[in-house]
Structure 1
Amino acid sequence: MSKYNKLWKYIESCGKEQFVLTFEEINSIVGVPLDHSFLKYKKELLEYGYKVEKISMKEKKVSFMKNK
């Protein structure tokens, strides 16, 4: 179980084709700040039917998309 499981379950339950979460929103869901380890863990999201489309460090946002 990774520290991002709460986020993956949240994304899975969202059901949207594509959406964006801010770093703050992710922090609120997970309970810890987003850090560089997210890059390692993001592949776990594929098991939930989604993928990370884009990470914007400038805008502090992450785009997610349903995996087809």
Structure 2
Amino acid sequence: MSKYEPLWKYLSTNNKENYDLSFEEIKEILGFEIDHAFLTYKKEAQNYGYVVEKISLKGKRIFFNKVMGN
């Protein structure tokens, strides 16, 4: 199980077309702060029907979009 699985489940459970989550919101979902390892794990989101569209380090936000057909 990936350490980011709670985030992926959050995305798929709420089933929105897209998400704009702050680093702080993600910390609340996961129970820990994201780090550079997220770049390796972000591809896992596709298994839950989402892709990481954009990571804004300046704005401290991550944008997710639902994969078409899911």
Provide the TM-score with structure 1 as the length reference: 0.96
SS at match of 2:19: strand
Could you tell me which amino acid in structure 2 is paired with residue 7 of structure 1?
L
Match of 2:14 in 1: 14
Could you tell me which amino acid in structure 2 is paired with residue 10 of structure 1?
Y
Could you tell me which amino acid in structure 2 is paired with residue 20 of structure 1?
D
Could you tell me which amino acid in structure 2 is paired with residue 38 of structure 1?
F
Aligned-pair identity in percent equals 54
Q: 1:19 & 1:8 partners in 2: Cα distance?
A: 12
**Aligned-residue RMSD, C-alpha:** 0.6
SS at match of 1:13: helix
Q: Give yes or no for the alignment of 1:33 onto 2:29.
A: no
Question: Runs in 1 of length 4+ with deviation above 3 angstroms?
Answer: none
1:34 CA displacement: 0.8
Unaligned runs of 5+ in 1: none
Deviations 1:7-66 (CA, angstroms, capped at 9, x unpaired): 000000111111200000000100110100000000011000001000000000000000
Number of equivalences = 68
Q: Give yes or no for the alignment of 1:44 onto 2:44.
A: yes
Match of 2:62 in 1: 62
Could you tell me which amino acid in structure 1 is paired with residue 2 of structure 2?
S
